[in-house]
Amino acid sequence: MNKFKHLLVVLPLFLLYFSNGNAQESVTHPKSEFRAVWIATVVNIDWPKAGTDPIEKQKADFIEILDTYKKLNYNAVIVQIRSVGDAFYPSKLAPWSKYLTGKEGKAPADNFDPLEWMITETHNRGFEFHAWLNPYRATMDLNTSVLSPTHDFFKHPEWMIKYGGKYYYNPALPDVQTHLIAVVDEVVKNYDIDAIHFDDYFYPYKIQGQEFDDSASFKKYGAGMSLPDWRRYNVNNFVKYCSYSIKTIKPWVQFGISPFGVWRNKSVDPKGSDTQSGQTNYDDLFADPMAWMEHSWVDYILPQLYWSMDHRTASYTKLLKWWAENSKNTAVYIGNGSYKINTDSDKRWNVPSEIPNQIDVTRSYKNINGNAFFSAKSFVNRNKAVTELLINNQYKYPALPYVVPNSRKTVVDVPTVCNATKDNDFYTYTINYPAKSKVRYVLVYAAKNLEKIDVTDPSQIIDKIAIKEKKDSISIVIKKNKFEKNNSYALSFIDFYGNESAATLLKNTAETKTLQSPLNNENRQ
């Protein structure tokens, strides 16, 4: 540790107390709220803009997405790293994606690992990184000549089912399930992700006049079940064992699924929603989110409600209420269709306030804890009438990602400042490295004009700094213009589960003792 030329006379340290009250409905500026955006890589929807782009352009385009959503006070990205049996990372189980390098199986130049780089850049901006995988879709079309020789289509043709102009992994085969769990495990073991994320693709959406031909597997493994029950059983088994495997490897890595927005229609099940959806999770995709929540196999559920508030057959408002009333044991977020803004036949999407209004009504349910938006390009230099509403209203201040129920823990360590320096532009604080907690960030609070620090007030959050050091001490650098006269400042830790520690008050005049107190960072239950 270097000696300091200028030691600030300050520091330690008050523990900041705040109440652990029940969450309030319709919180104007919640401190804890999931705010995510999907970054789709399949067919280069969001990123990279082209698989043939040089690495430096791909990096710049990804950073543009991060910086756009950082300014909008989002706090998580859901990045597609496997879409069609391929990989955006060096894998022993799948070829490199053509959407990354222009040719499937072709590696990026200079041993570049885009996933490791993306995770680092994401954490450096205070976001969670949710690694999004499509497990069952093997190709986007039937042109197998463009596939790598190492693609599973060639290595295991017996795993494949042709349907709707694509190939799919057969969800019924034990070898397929074992392989796909190994795909998930490889990512969890090798990368510092915050979550594994699946979307709505399980058994494929039904196409009139076509059959998903798993008859041989059903005959072999059906065990007397009906075909629909057996297919749901296959999906449930896969979800269950993915969950067990993730938590065994890294207990702090979340497992989240974003199913299609309609479980079942009320016309076929009185427990279903008041919708007239042409397809549903339970009956057509053979996915049963109710079972996943019942058994706590997922940490969060994120149903895709890509309709307008008063849509005739699938109203956002009605479906939101249904999910609020029918969810349990997990965090619940809502997926919003920002891709429809100014592009949809439903003219409600031409109204700039549609998305802000959806966020407002979502917040009226205290057991719904945030939103995610499909997809990233919707707000990158586009739809500024909407983004201006968000930054001036719903997303005016930062928020911490919601801590999922199974991850809530007490962060024993609190920031302890052991030294500090100042120069013309910066204050540098050295904090003892946490001894008992696995910590990812230091959160910085500021209150102006002699106001007290209030750690329940998101308007006082001024920075979220990724911890890069691995031992001994942590250096926190704060620009001097943020340390204006009569300001108060405080630091807290955010652990790998997303929990916040008690905060340490920084003072400019005297040194005081640290007081210890338990603290809960959730202000929405």
Rg (CA), the chain: 24
Cα angle 303-308-312, degrees, rounded to a multiple of 5: 105
pLDDT, tens digit, 9 for 90 and up, residues 337-374: 999 999 999 999 999 999 999 999 999 999 999 999 99
User: What is the pLDDT at residue 61?
Assistant: 98
Rounded Cα–Cα distance for residues 78 and 197 (Å): 7
**Fold of the 407-506 domain:** Immunoglobulin-like (2.60.40)
Q: What is the DSSP letter of 290?
A: H
User: What is the pLDDT at residue 48?
Assistant: 98
Rounded Cα–Cα distance for residues 303 and 136 (Å): 19
User: What is the pLDDT at residue 448?
Assistant: 84
Confidence band of 508 (pLDDT split at 50, 70, 90): low
**Among 335, 302, 369, which residue's Cα sits nearest to residue 32?**
369
Q: List, by residue range, all CATH 3.20.20.80 domains of the chain.
A: 34-402
Q: What is the DSSP letter of 14?
A: P
Mean predicted confidence (pLDDT) in 378-397:
98
Phi, psi of 509 (to 5 degrees): -125, -35
User: What is the pLDDT at residue 485?
Assistant: 62
- H helix runs in 191-278, sequence order: 215-221, 227-249
User: What is the pLDDT at residue 7?
Assistant: 30
Q: Which residues pair with 32 in a beta bridge?
A: 400
b/e per residue 202-223 (b: at least 16 CB within 10 A): bbbebeeeeebebeebbeeebe
Q: Which residues pair with 167 in a beta bridge?
A: 162
Which run of H or E residues covers position 427? strand 426-432
Rounded Cα–Cα distance for residues 10 and 1 (Å): 19
- Dihedral-angle region of residue 262 (phi above 0 means left; psi in -120 to 50 means alpha; beta otherwise): beta
Q: In the predicted model, what is the mean pLDDT of the chain?
A: 91
How many Cβ atoms sit within 10 Å of the Cβ of residue 70? Answer: 17
How many Cβ atoms sit within 10 Å of the Cβ of residue 263? Answer: 25
- Dihedral-angle region of residue 293 (phi above 0 means left; psi in -120 to 50 means alpha; beta otherwise): alpha
Is it the case that residue 22 has pLDDT exceeding 70?
A: no
Contacts 24+ apart (CB under 8 A), 497-500: 497/252, 497/403, 497/407, 497/408, 497/409, 498/128, 498/194, 498/400, 498/401, 498/402, 498/403, 498/404, 498/407, 499/403, 499/407, 499/408, 499/409, 499/410, 499/411, 500/400, 500/411, 500/443, 500/455
Three-class SS string for 441-507?
EEEEEEECCCCCCCCCCHHHEEEEEECCCCCCEEEEEEEHHHCCCCCEEEEEEEECCCCECCCEEEC
**The tokens of 383 are what?**
């739809």
Q: Which residues pair with 492 in a beta bridge?
A: 443
Identify the residue whose tokens are 């955010």: 494
User: What is the pLDDT at residue 513?
Assistant: 33
pLDDT, tens digit, 9 for 90 and up, residues 401-458: 999 999 999 999 999 999 988 888 888 899 999 999 999 999 999 998 778 999 999 9
pLDDT, tens digit, 9 for 90 and up, residues 175-208: 999 999 999 999 999 999 999 999 999 999 999 9
Rounded Cα–Cα distance for residues 330 and 257 (Å): 11
CATH number for the segment(s) 34-402: 3.20.20.80
Tell me the percentage of the chain whose pLDDT exceeds 90.
84
**The tokens of 462 are what?**
């001024």
Which run of H or E residues covers position 366? none
User: What is the pLDDT at residue 423?
Assistant: 84
Q: What is the DSSP letter of 393?
A: T
Identify the residue whose tokens are 């993306």: 118
Rounded Cα–Cα distance for residues 132 and 372 (Å): 13
Q: List, by residue range, all CATH 2.60.40.10 domains of the chain.
A: 407-506
- Return the higher-pLDDT residue of 140 and 429: 140
Contacts of 132 (CB under 8 A, 6+ apart): 38, 78, 79, 80, 81, 82, 197, 198, 199
Q: Find the helix packing angle between 174-190 and 227-249, rounded to 10°.
A: 30
Confidence band of 26 (pLDDT split at 50, 70, 90): low
Preceding peptide of 217 cis, ω within 30°: no
CB 474 within 8 A of CB 387: no
Mean predicted confidence (pLDDT) in 213-237:
98
Give the distance, in angstroms, between the CA of residue 123 and the centroid of all CA atoms in the same chain.
Answer: 12
Contacts of 229 (CB under 8 A, 6+ apart): none
Stated pTM of the model? 0.92
Mean predicted confidence (pLDDT) in 26-40:
93
